[in-house]
């Protein structure tokens, strides 16, 4: 049931291979970048040899300065500089596009994967943590991906070419220049391991900061803090995590700085040592020409930057591997819900609307973020069996925590049962495609979520192709059209975050209009009026009667006033079905339903408002006199 881990956290080697694989779709662009790097590196190595010829063959030639040759050599040096600059511009463009495309693809994959995740993953993971993986972790590796591939190749080619050229000029001086390089490589590996650990802790802290920000600066979070006077507490909590983040950022930046200072200092001293060795060789009879010495020191100086860059890039790669590991950790989560190989769609036009729970056992997984322990919780439903005929209004009642909302979540397959089956028109929902279920099953919940968008955009979320007239018709059916048309911008009014510019009843009626546009065959009402005042409840109830007409409806409610007219009532307690029948039958039985009725209705005060023949017909509550009494429930 829980979103399953594909395996343990990716190892460094695995993460490295998977990171390299991200570039596979861009092989052609990589080839162009590689060619550009090879050309510019070759041109860069040519300059010291031109310098050698300038000194030995042009300026200090045995017969005196050779001006014609000097002009040619200087011209060649200028041409190399211009060509290298032009190629560099193209290379920068290609690498920038490549890096950003790789990041775009990675973000798309991660977001699409998260959209397919099990609902329990989101109920047990802080939204800020999820957003941090998508924004901070992916953003943290963007510069590395954009620059690293080309930087590594460019610096490697430069180093190899420079080393070959230096050895060709003087193998004795080359030994002096490279004597401590293996030591630096070993030190770099150790520093990289430290930085990788710090990077993982830094991103974890950044994730916590994002979660705090998302929770406390949302409308609900700010309202809660103000109501309870907890602003100072939230400020202190953010400051503490921000302080931790700052400390980690400083540690991450400073780790390895002493190492780089030693490396830079060593390479800065090498020219002096080279001059000394050249002098000793000259005394011993193995003199080195001035041009060769100048060319060698030029190459050695040129070698400093790519070597230091390679060491830095290597540390950046170590850091980025920690971030890639966190990203792949989410990508490795296997969604708990997926289509079976034999799954088929059920078209709305072919659906009758029969709903059946057959020997259902279900418990919520104790999901957690990757790397944290998880396991099954207690049973939420136990051996539950019930059947709702097409077109019936079925009410599900029971005390808080009895399993009513759980039952409603299983119909549209927001979760899968642990045992038994939930069936639509006799077919197990697991044998239907996930994509076909939203067309069949619509939901109106107690808290109707609205996006920070216009009223029309929120309504069209259920039916993107709905015409303006269809949107207005749905609003009229939901008893909200008059209010919306009275707004300054009508249906183009922005509702604010989570619809906070609207009242609870108005949001509920917009949610009902939205489900009317979706036109599902089966409707689930999860305590759709329990948090409303009497006036709002009456308006919402009238809207619900419209949308329930001709549909199979499952009404989950604490308020029995919303289900007195049901065709069948299911009383649930502690995950088990304890009673089933009509209102009158269950009252006469004197069980759980009668107890709930007595507690909420004072032993029949509301019952007196109904004649004996209360029934539900064509979406209306009718008394025995046949008159419409829609406000009674």
Q: Which residues pair with 396 in a beta bridge?
A: 556, 570
Burial (CB < 10 A; 0-12, 13-18, 19+), residue 224, is middle
Percent of the chain with pLDDT over 90: 10
Helix (H/G/I), strand (E/B), else coil: 620: strand
Tokens standing for 63?
A: 């017969």
Res 253 pLDDT > 90: no
DSSP symbol at 344: B
pLDDT tens track for 178-204: 766 676 667 666 776 777 778 778 777
Q: What confidence category does residue 626 fall into, taking pLDDT thresholds of 50, 70 and 90?
A: very low
**How far is Cα 495 from Cα 454, in angstroms, rounded to an integer?**
6
Give Cα 293 to chain centroid, integer Å: 57
* Mean pLDDT computed over 469-495: 86
Distance separating the N- and C-terminal Cα atoms of the chain: 38
Q: What is the mean pLDDT of the chain?
A: 77
Tens-place pLDDT, residues 77-92: 888 889 988 988 888 8
Mean pLDDT of 242-258: 78
Res 8: pLDDT? 46
Assign domain 4-202+254-334 to its CATH architecture.
Up-down Bundle (1.20)
The pLDDT of residue 608 is above 60? no
Residue pair 589/579 in contact by the 8 Å Cβ criterion: yes
Residues of the chain with pLDDT > 70, as a percent, come to 76
Q: Name the residue ranges covered by the structural domains of the chain.
A: 4-202+254-334, 380-622
Contact yes or no for 259/191 (Cβ under 8 A): yes
pTM, 2 dp: 0.68
* pLDDT score, position 165: 75
Specify the DSSP class assigned to residue 287.
Answer: -
pLDDT, mean of residues 558-584: 84
pLDDT digits (tens, 9 = 90+) for 554-566: 988 766 666 777 8
What are the CA-CA distances from residue 195 to residues 79, 113, 251, 265, 311 (Å)?
42, 29, 8, 22, 13
Q: Are 321 and 13 in contact (CB under 8 A)?
A: no
CATH code assigned to 380-622: 3.40.50.300
pLDDT of residue 197: 77
* pLDDT tens-place string over residues 395-425: 998 888 888 889 988 998 988 999 999 999 9
Burial of 31 (0-12, 13-18, 19+ CB in 10 A): exposed
Instruction: Give the lowest-confidence range in 62-76, 166-180, 435-449, 517-531.
Output: 166-180
Task: For residue 627, give Cα distances in angstroms to 525, 547, 618, 622.
Answer: 25, 20, 13, 6
Residue 338 has pLDDT above 60, yes or no: yes
Which of 243-281 are b and which e, b meaning 16 or more Cβ less than 10 Å from the residue's Cβ?
Answer: ebbeebeeebeebbeebbeebeebbeebbeebeebbeee
Contacts (Cβ under 8 Å, ≥6 apart) of 234: 212, 216, 221, 225
């Amino acid at each position: 049931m829980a979103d399953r881990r594909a395996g343990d956290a990716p190892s460094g080697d695995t993460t490295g291979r998977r990171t390299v694989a991200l570039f596979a779709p861009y092989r052609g662009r990589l080839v162009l970048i590689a060619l550009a790097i090879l050309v510019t590196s070759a041109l860069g190595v040519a300059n010291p040899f031109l310098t050698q010829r300038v000194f030995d063959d042009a300026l200090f030639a045995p017969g005196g300065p050779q001006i014609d040759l000097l002009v040619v050599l200087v011209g060649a040096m200028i041409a190399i500089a211009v060509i290298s600059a032009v190629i560099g511009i193209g290379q920068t463009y290609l690498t920038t596009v490549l890096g950003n495309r790789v990041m775009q693809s990675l973000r798309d994959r991660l977001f699409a994967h998260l959209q397919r995740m099990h609902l329990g993953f989101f109920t047990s993971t802080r939204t800020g943590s999820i957003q941090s993986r998508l924004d901070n972790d992916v953003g943290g590796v963007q510069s590395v991906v954009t620059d690293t591939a080309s930087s590594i190749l460019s610096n490697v080619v430069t180093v190899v070419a420079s080393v070959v050229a230096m050895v060709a000029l003087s193998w004795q001086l080359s030994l002096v220049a490279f004597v401590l390089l293996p030591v630096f490589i070993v030190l770099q590996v150790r520093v990289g391991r430290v930085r990788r650990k710090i990077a993982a802790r830094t991103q974890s802290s950044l994730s916590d900061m994002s979660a705090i920000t998302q929770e406390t600066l949302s409308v609900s979070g700010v309202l809660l803090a103000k109501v309870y006077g907890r602003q100072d507490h939230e400020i202190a909590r953010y400051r503490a995590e921000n302080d931790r983040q700052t400390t980690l950022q400083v540690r991450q930046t400073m780790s390895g700085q002493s190492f780089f200072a030693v490396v830079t200092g060593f390479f800065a001293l090498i020219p002096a040592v080279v001059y000394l060795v050249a002098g000793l060789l000259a005394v011993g009879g193995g003199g080195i020409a001035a041009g060769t010495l100048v060319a060698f020191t030029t190459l050695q100086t040129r070698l400093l930057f790519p070597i230091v860059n390679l060491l830095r890039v290597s540390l950046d790669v170590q850091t980025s591997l920690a971030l890639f590991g966190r990203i792949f950790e989410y990508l490795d989560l296997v969604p708990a819900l997926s289509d079976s190989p034999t799954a088929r769609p059920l078209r709305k036009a072919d659906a009758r609307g029969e709903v059946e729970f057959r020997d259902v056992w279900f418990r919520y997984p104790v999901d957690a973020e990757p790397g944290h322990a998880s396991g099954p919780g207690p049973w939420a439903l136990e051996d539950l069996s019930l059947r709702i005929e097409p077109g019936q209004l079925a009410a599900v009642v029971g005390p808080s925590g009895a399993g009513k909302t759980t039952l409603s979540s299983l119909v549209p397959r927001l979760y899968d049962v642990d045992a038994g089956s939930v069936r639509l028109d006799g077919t197990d929902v697991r044998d239907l495609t996930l994509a076909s279920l939203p067309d069949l099953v619509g939901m109106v919940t107690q808290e109707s979520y609205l996006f920070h968008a216009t009223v029309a955009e929120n309504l069209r979320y259920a039916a993107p192709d709905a015409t303006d007239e269809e949107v207005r018709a749905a609003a009229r059916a939901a008893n909200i059209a008059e209010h919306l048309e009275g707004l300054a911008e009508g249906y183009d009014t922005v509702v604010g975050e989570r619809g906070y510019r609207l009242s609870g009843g108005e949001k509920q009626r917009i949610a009902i209009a939205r489900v009317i546009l979706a036109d599902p065959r089966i409707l689930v009402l999860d305590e759709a009026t329990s948090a409303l005042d009497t006036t709002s409840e009456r308006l919402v109830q009238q809207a619900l009667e419209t949308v329930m007409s001709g549909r199979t409806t499952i009404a989950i409610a604490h308020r029995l006033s919303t289900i007195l007219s049901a065709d069948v009532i299911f009383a649930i307690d502690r995950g088990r079905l304890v009673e089933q029948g009509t209102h009158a039958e269950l009252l006469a039985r004197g069980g759980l339903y009668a107890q709930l009725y007595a507690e909420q209705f004072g032993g029949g005060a509301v019952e007196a408002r109904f004649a004996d023949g209360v029934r539900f017909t064509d979406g209306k509550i009718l008394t025995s006199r046949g008159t419409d009494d829609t406000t009674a429930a």
